[in-house]
């Protein structure tokens, strides 16, 4: 058995190593420390998968039942895969992109890493909230300090205002739960949910909904998304879209489906409708984008709205689909943002209409772009397909309206194919004749991500097998 606390101790040690590194000279670079830290964590996670995880509990203040307790819940393990493995791929982009105050950047990087893992495994609401906040704050710094020189700070501020508001509503939910159940411990709360009067349940659910809708994000609380995704450094964008948005989905399943299931089931029709509206609205908004990175930001939101539909339906099948889609989307969107980053590095523009014919110079790049797009479009054999299939099967049974979101997939096909056509097909512009094929590192990262996309796509049972008790 692997104790869950080790998944926190290792990144913590990495952070300490990064902090003391300047005082003892420069034996190794910050990237290497970060990489080693994450690899050790992944190895621990792998052993945990084989041997099983054991919980951790340390009482801190028993009068308010504040204990540092870690436990796997029914949907933890798939998310842990995302949280431990994906940042390794993101690191390799960050290593190229971040040039100034690197030690500090990697401290924040590991703090995000640590806190996302902790959110997934903490079973005490105070611990949950502390790490939830830590993740937001460290990303705020990453966006503000290493983002776009002119717009980065404003974007970071906007991100902070929005997500802090969401955190406040989440805190309110936790306090309400404490007031009525007398505990911050999730298993205790779950057993005492009957003590909540129905209006409190509804109130808590709506507060939770605000948090989730900001985090995922869902219309009409998504306005922070575009600026934050666009002006943050690419590694920050990957963190935001691949992991932070999943925190919203995770909280929605853990609390919305886990605790407030009655409310969720009563409200599922309007919620599914909201999800469908968001999906189609965002698919249209994405169709109107000329900038590759903006388009990807919107498309990321599109898939999260499918997740929202799945969870809102409150059916086990659709929830499993949502978990698969979230994990799969984490890998796919990282691959696509990575591709857009490489493209920007090589051509100096995000506007795909100015490009063309890149296929002739960079066939491997072309392969990964097409692969990423097909994965995104839910081609069978790649990871999105089982997720989408289960979401539609599950939600159709209770809310037939959800099938309308398929129209959004058609719109996605349109804009993704436009990107492929503009980037890969046609004649190469004269100034791009010196383009070089992907470097070994880029190739390795893209293959690494593609491997997981293919693995989940071919064997979704790997993920389904570790989701328990729905």
Partner 1 sequence: MLYLILVPLLVSSVLIAVLGERKSLSWALSLIAAVVSFLLSAFFFVSYFNRNILESYTWFSFSGLIFSLSFVGNNLTLFMSLLVSFISVMVLLFAGFYMKKEKQSRFYAEMSFFIFSMLGLVLSGSLLLFFIFWEFVGITSYLLIGFWYDKEAPAVSSKKALLITRIGDLSFLAAIVIVFSALKTFSISAFLGSIPLLPPMVILTVGILFIIAALSKAAQFPFYTWLIDAMEGPTPVSSLLHSATMVAAGAYLLIRLLPLISAAGLSSLILVFAFITAITAALLALKERHFKKILAYSTIESLAFMFMAIGTLNAGGAVFYLFTHAVFKSMLFFISGVLAILFGTYDIYELNSRGTRGSWVTIPALIGFASIAAIPPFMSFFAHSAITYNFNIYENSVFVVIAFLTALFSFRAFFVIFGKKSRNKLKREFTVLFPIVTLAVISTFGGVIIYFFNAIEPILHSFDAFSFISLAAALLGVFVSYELFYAKKEEKTVLKMQRTAVKLEKYRYERFIIGVGNAVSDFGYYIGRFDSMLSSAASRAAESTFILSSKTREIENGDAFRYITAIVIGLIAVILVAVIFI
- Give the C-alpha separation, 459 to 469, whole Å: 20
Q: Is 357 in the site for partner 1 (CB under 8 A)?
A: yes
Phi and psi, residue 70, nearest 5°: -120, 140
Q: Is 148 in the site for partner 1 (CB under 8 A)?
A: no
Alpha helices in 314-362 (DSSP H): 316-347, 358-361
Contact pick of 271, 359, 399, 456 for partner 1 (by CB under 8 A): 359
Region for 108 from its dihedrals, namely left if φ exceeds 0, alpha if ψ lies in -120 to 50, beta otherwise: alpha
State the greatest distance between any 2 C-alpha atoms of the chain, in Å, as a whole number.
Answer: 71
Residue 59 or 345 having the CB closest to partner 1: 59
Contact pick of 34, 124, 144, 204 for partner 1 (by CB under 8 A): 144
Span of 77-85, 175-183, 245-253, 395-403 interacting with partner 1 by CB under 8 A: 395-403
Contact pick of 46, 193, 360, 401 for partner 1 (by CB under 8 A): 360
Residue 209 or 424 having the CB closest to partner 1: 424
Min separation Cβ 194 and partner 1, Å: 25
Q: Is 277 in the site for partner 1 (CB under 8 A)?
A: no
β-bridge pairing 2-3 and 66-70: unpaired
Residues 54-73 binding partner 1 (CB under 8 A) are 60-61, 68
Q: Is 309 in the site for partner 1 (CB under 8 A)?
A: no
Min separation Cβ 195 and partner 1, Å: 29
Q: Is 380 in the site for partner 1 (CB under 8 A)?
A: yes
SS3 276: helix
Residue 280 or 342 having the CB closest to partner 1: 280
β-bridge pairing 53-54 and 2-3: parallel
Residues 409-438 binding partner 1 (CB under 8 A) are 409-411, 413-415, 417-418, 420-421, 424-427
Q: Is 130 in the site for partner 1 (CB under 8 A)?
A: yes
Give the bridge partners for 122, in sequence order: 70
Q: Is 461 in the site for partner 1 (CB under 8 A)?
A: yes
How many residues of this chain interact with partner 1, rule: CB under 8 A? 75
- Give the C-alpha separation, 257 to 434, whole Å: 53
Residue 263 or 276 having the CB closest to partner 1: 276
Min separation Cβ 191 and partner 1, Å: 23
Residues 195-214 binding partner 1 (CB under 8 A) are none
H or E element: which one contains 69? Answer: strand 66-70
Residues 68-97 binding partner 1 (CB under 8 A) are 68
SS3 124: strand
In whole angstroms, how large is the CA radius of gyration of the chain?
21
Across 119-141, b (16+ Cβ under 10 Å) vs e yields bbbbbbbbbbbbbbbbbbbbbbb
Cα angle for residues 459, 378, 382 (degrees, 5° grid): 30
CB 56 within 8 A of CB 416: no
Q: Is 379 in the site for partner 1 (CB under 8 A)?
A: yes
Residue 421 or 431 having the CB closest to partner 1: 421
Contact pick of 92, 137, 142, 432 for partner 1 (by CB under 8 A): 137
SS3 175: helix
Span of 31-39, 191-199, 312-320, 336-344 interacting with partner 1 by CB under 8 A: 312-320
Min separation Cβ 435 and partner 1, Å: 14
Contact pick of 22, 187, 270, 288 for partner 1 (by CB under 8 A): 288
- Give the C-alpha separation, 373 to 112, whole Å: 28
- Give the C-alpha separation, 369 to 420, whole Å: 8
Residues 215-254 binding partner 1 (CB under 8 A) are 220, 223-227
Contact pick of 5, 157, 454, 466 for partner 1 (by CB under 8 A): 157
Q: Is the peptide bond before 212 cis (omega within 30 degrees of 0)?
A: no
């Amino acid at each position: 058995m692997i104790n869950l606390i080790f998944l926190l101790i290792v990144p913590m040690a990495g952070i300490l190593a990064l902090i003391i590194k300047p005082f003892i000279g420069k034996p190794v670079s910050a990237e290497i420390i970060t990489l080693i830290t994450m690899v050790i964590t992944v190895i621990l996670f792998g052993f945990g998968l084989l041997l099983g995880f054991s919980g951790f509990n340390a009482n801190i203040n028993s009068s308010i039942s504040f204990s540092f307790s870690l436990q796997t819940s029914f949907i933890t393990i798939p998310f842990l895969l995302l949280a431990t493995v994906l940042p390794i791929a993101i690191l390799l982009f960050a290593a190229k992109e971040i040039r100034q105050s690197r030690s500090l950047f990697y401290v924040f990087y590991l703090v995000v890493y640590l806190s996302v893992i902790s959110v997934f495994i903490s079973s005490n609401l105070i611990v949950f909230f502390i790490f939830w906040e830590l993740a937001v704050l460290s990303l705020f710094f990453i966006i503000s300090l290493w983002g776009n020189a002119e717009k980065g700070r404003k974007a970071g501020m906007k991100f902070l205002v929005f997500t802090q508001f969401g955190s406040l509503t989440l805190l309110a939910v936790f306090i309400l739960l404490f007031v009525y159940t007398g505990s911050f411990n999730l298993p205790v709360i779950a057993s005492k949910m009957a003590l909540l009067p129905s209006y409190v349940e509804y109130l808590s659910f709506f507060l939770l909904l605000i948090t989730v809708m900001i985090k995922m994000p869902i219309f009409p609380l998504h306005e922070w998304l575009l600026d934050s995704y666009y002006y943050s450094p690419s590694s920050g964008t990957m963190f935001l879209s691949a992991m932070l948005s999943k925190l919203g989905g995770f909280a929605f399943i853990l609390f919305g489906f886990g605790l407030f299931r009655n409310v969720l089931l009563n409200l599922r029709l309007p919620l599914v409708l909201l999800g469908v509206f968001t999906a189609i609205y965002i698919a249209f908004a994405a169709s109107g984008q000329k900038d590759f990175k903006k388009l990807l930001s919107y498309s990321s939101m599109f898939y999260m709205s499918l997740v929202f539909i799945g969870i809102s339906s409150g059916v086990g099948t659709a929830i499993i689909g949502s978990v698969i889609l979230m994990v799969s989307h984490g890998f796919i969107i990282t691959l696509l943002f990575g591709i857009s980053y490489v493209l920007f590095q090589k051509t100096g523009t995000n506007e795909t209409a100015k490009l063309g014919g890149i296929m002739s110079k960079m066939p491997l790049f072309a392969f990964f772009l097409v692969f990423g797009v097909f994965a995104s479009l839910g081609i069978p054999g790649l990871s999105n397909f089982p997720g989408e299939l289960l979401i539609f099967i599950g939600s159709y049974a209770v809310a037939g309206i959800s099938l309308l979101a398929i129209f959004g997939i058609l719109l996605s096909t349109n804009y993704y194919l436009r990107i492929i056509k503009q980037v890969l097909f046609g004649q190469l512009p004269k100034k791009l004749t010196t383009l070089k094929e992907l470097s070994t590192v880029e190739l390795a990262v893209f293959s690494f991500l593609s491997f997981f996309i293919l693995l989940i796509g071919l064997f979704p049972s790997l993920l389904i097998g570790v989701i328990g008790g729905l």
